[in-house]
A and B are shown apart, each in its own frame.
Chain A
Amino acid sequence: MIQQILFALVAIVAFSWGGRQFLKIRRNIMLGKDTPMVNNSGARWKNVLLIAFGQKKMFKRWIPAIFHLFIYVAFLFTQIELIEIFIDGIFGVHRFFAPILGGIYTFLISSIELLSLGAFIGTLVFLARRNLLKVPRFHKPEMNGWPKLDGNLILYGELLLLLGIFCMNGADAVLQQVDPQHYTSTGATALSSWMGPAIFGGMEQGTLVGIERFGWWLHIIVVFAFLNYLPHSKHLHIFLAFPNVYFAKLQPKGQMDNMPEIMNEVKSMMGLGPEGAEEMPMDEEIPEFGAKDVMDLEWRDVLAAYSCTECGRCTSVCPANITGKKLSPRKIMMDTRDRAEEIGKKLDTGSVEFIKEALRASEKTLTKTNFDDGKSLFDSISKEELHACTTCNACVEACPIMINPLDIILKLRRYEILTESAGPSDWVPMFTSIENGGAVWQVPDDRDAWAN
């Protein structure tokens, strides 16, 4: 009875606290502007099936893909055991599904055990890749500090989860022999039926019960801990990868989004506008183009930033990064997420000091529309990084969950050029040549002189 009450209490705290964190993430994602109507749900579900569920793009690099697959499939399957843990925890029963499912239960638990073994090996391999093998993409400057620790903490957490499962099932296998009345037979499971007796055989019944309970509680406590850790971690990808893939752009990668507001302005300048088209109202503030901050991005860009698990495949294929430039597409995503977090935290304070100075007199409630803390994405993303991008789409192609760093880079470039009228001075002659001469270079020859 005490265990039941304890379990219920822990569950309630974990869910309510975790739920609050997830709602904040949702709020932060929605700081972004509306994403244009998302159409073609057929193709989108297909992507979710193949790329998110099926991990198709992970297999561009098959070694990490296989170990990741172990951990991923183990995670999916363990949800079945988790359901049972919940039922057992709340109703104070033991292995609720065992008598109901019979042979199927033996099969399910065996599968979970084998997958867990695979996940255990996978986790050790990943720890080694991060800490011993020094895979270059895990050691870029943006990975220093918290991101590195985060990556390791997740793997340690996974080891604890698996340790819990092994203790629980192993001790249980021995208890089934010692005390068959209280411990329902699970049948001969793949691992615990022989590993249990091999490790825990001959122990006192009290000790065995202790080990079994320790494993059970360890597993569920770590699950709850993960639930609350996820919102602060790159590990959030286990949930957000799915919506991110669903909402990812379907158009050809080379296609940049049009800016209708500028198109219409230019059309009316050129006398091409539809009848009665109005020019941009001049009395209003000069409009801002491109993106300066999270609020200027689409919410799907922010969703992508929160979905990023910092694997660095994008950065490892970026031609600029490969040749020693500062640009790292992963850093663009991390900076976007961190800025969204920063804005979220400041909004939580509700402090009027974060209201735009001009509006402070009239507006008393801090919202995302009147927010201004004097900072922007440009505080963490330098112009040097943005200018180094060749728009080659290698990062977009490399991302296993269809994150598009290029989208954000191009929006920031648009801000720099259109709103700030800044940018590399080398580009100015190119712009003027196109504007005045219709060619990227200022050339005295006729455009068709090559034929003469």
Chain B
Amino acid sequence: MSSINVPRMADLAAAGKKPEILFWVGCAGSFDARAQKVTRAFCKILNETGIDYAILGKEESCTGDPARRAGNEFVFQMTALQNIETLKLYEVKRIVTTCPHCFNVIKNEYPALGGNYEVVHHTQFLQELIDTGKLKIDGGAFAGKKITYHDSCYLGRANDVYEAPRSLLEQLDNELVEMKRCKTNGLCCGAGGAQMFKENEPGDKRINIERTEEALATGATIVASNCPFCLTMLSDGMKAKEKQEEVMVYDLAELIVNNKGWE
């Protein structure tokens, strides 16, 4: 992979600068090979549109979401309070993140610990770039293609964000086909609540398979997602169904980068 120019908060601070927005990368975006591509895609968009941003880099820690949902409040508090201290140090006011779990925790749960920020999910941020004219997209590569959109639980039900991602897809000029269970009724990919980190309980089926089958039933050739964990779960589902060559699972940021030819 070629290197990509990503400003670090510490470097900017050393130069006496403070960016407008912090890009919170998250554990998946930092370490998971598939999610790293989304991180890079989103940075490309930020770079191309001239956004004044930075990442925390090595100073970022897990937000604590899976620990808290598993029930481990001690581990959650330790990592969360550490993060809040770091954010305080850099006087961060606004945060954008490509992970809906990070988004939910920083936006809704850090305030009770003393961390108050304006937090946006990258799909909302991308919509904002389009609304302000900083980013222009047109049909291009995806025009007329059948795409289905998977609502992540933590962007959808947990925070009632359903429209921004759909509006982005609309502008890519493709044919959006909804799955049987969508929006408020969307079906989980199976990763949330720290399920990502453990084996399933006994049952008939894995949840990601159930969801993958529903996506396949739409006849779409692209599944758009907004969450690194959904991305893994649905990609695994496609592999299990041996459909990984025909149906691609992409994050919305990747679709835009593709569309703009910023590869």
Contact = CB atoms under 8 A, between A and B. Distances in A.
Contacts of B64: 434
B200 interface: yes
A205 B40 CA distance: 89
Interface in B151-181: 153-154, 157-160, 181
A396 B73 CA distance: 22
B201 A272 contact: no
Most B-side CB within 10 Å, residue of A60, A394, A418, A429? A394
B118 to A, nearest CB: 15
B144 interface: no
A311 B185 CA distance: 17
B157 A447 contact: no
B45 interface: no
B139 interface: no
Contact of B6 (A259, A326, A387, A451): A451
A430 B193 contact: no
A121 to B, nearest CB: 28
A262 interface: yes
B207 A451 contact: no
A429 B202 CA distance: 21
A263 B109 CA distance: 12
Nearest to A411: B71
Contact of B104 (A254, A317, A415, A417): A254
Contact of B201 (A327, A423, A441, A451): A327
A22 to B, nearest CB: 34
Interface residues of A, number: 68
Contacts, number: 225
B73 A262 contact: yes
A366 to B, nearest CB: 31
A426 interface: yes
B27 A390 contact: no
Interface string A300-328: 00000000000000000101101111110
Contact of B31 (A256, A390, A445): A445
Contacts of B194: 427, 430
Interface string B22-37: 0001011111000010
Most B-side CB within 10 Å, residue of A253, A392, A427, A430? A392
Contacts of B195: 390
A384 B187 contact: no
A260 B31 CA distance: 31
Contacts of B196: 440
A393 B3 contact: no
B81 A272 contact: yes
B116 interface: no
Contact of A443 (B31, B77, B191, B205): B31
A427 B202 contact: no
Interface in A396-452: 396-397, 410, 413-418, 423-424, 426-427, 429-431, 434-435, 438-441, 443, 445-452
B71 A452 contact: no
Contacts of B55: 448
A60 B30 contact: no
B193 A390 contact: yes
B74 A392 contact: no
Given A254-B158, A326-B201, A418-B71, A441 B27 contact: yes
Size class of the contact patch on chain B = 35 or more
Given A263-B113, A392-B192, A393-B157, A256 B72 contact: no
Contacts of A416: 71
B6 A418 contact: no
Interface in A254-285: 254-256, 258-260, 262-263, 265-267, 270, 272
B80 to A, nearest CB: 9
B174 to A, nearest CB: 27
A194 B114 CA distance: 71
Given A393-B153, A397-B157, A447-B60, A439 B71 contact: no
A389 interface: yes
A145 interface: no
Interface in A177-224: none
Contact of A258 (B1, B112, B193): B112
Contacts of B201: 320, 325-327, 384, 387-388
A396 to B, nearest CB: 8
A197 B55 CA distance: 83
B157 A435 contact: no
Given A390-B193, A391-B192, A452-B3, A256 B204 contact: no
Contact of A323 (B5, B77, B207): B207
B188 interface: yes
Contacts of B108: 251-252, 254-255
A323 B203 contact: yes
Contacts of A414: 71, 73
11 contacts: A326-B202, A384-B201, A390-B195, A393-B157, A413-B69, A417-B71, A418-B72, A426-B199, A438-B61, A447-B58, A451-B40
Interface of A: 60, 251-256, 258-260, 262-263, 265-267, 270, 272, 289-290, 317, 319-320, 322-327, 384, 387-394, 396-397, 410, 413-418, 423-424, 426-427, 429-431, 434-435, 438-441, 443, 445-452
Given A322-B210, A396-B157, 9 more contacts: A272-B81, A389-B193, A392-B153, A413-B70, A424-B198, A429-B197, A438-B79, A448-B6, A448-B57
Interface of B: 1, 3-6, 8, 25, 27-31, 36, 39-40, 43, 55, 57-58, 60-62, 64, 66-75, 77-79, 81-82, 85, 104, 107-109, 112-113, 153-154, 157-160, 181, 184-188, 190-207, 209-211
Give 8 closest A-B pairs by Cβ, nearest first. Answer: A254-B158, A324-B204, A391-B193, A426-B198, A413-B71, A438-B61, A417-B71, A324-B203
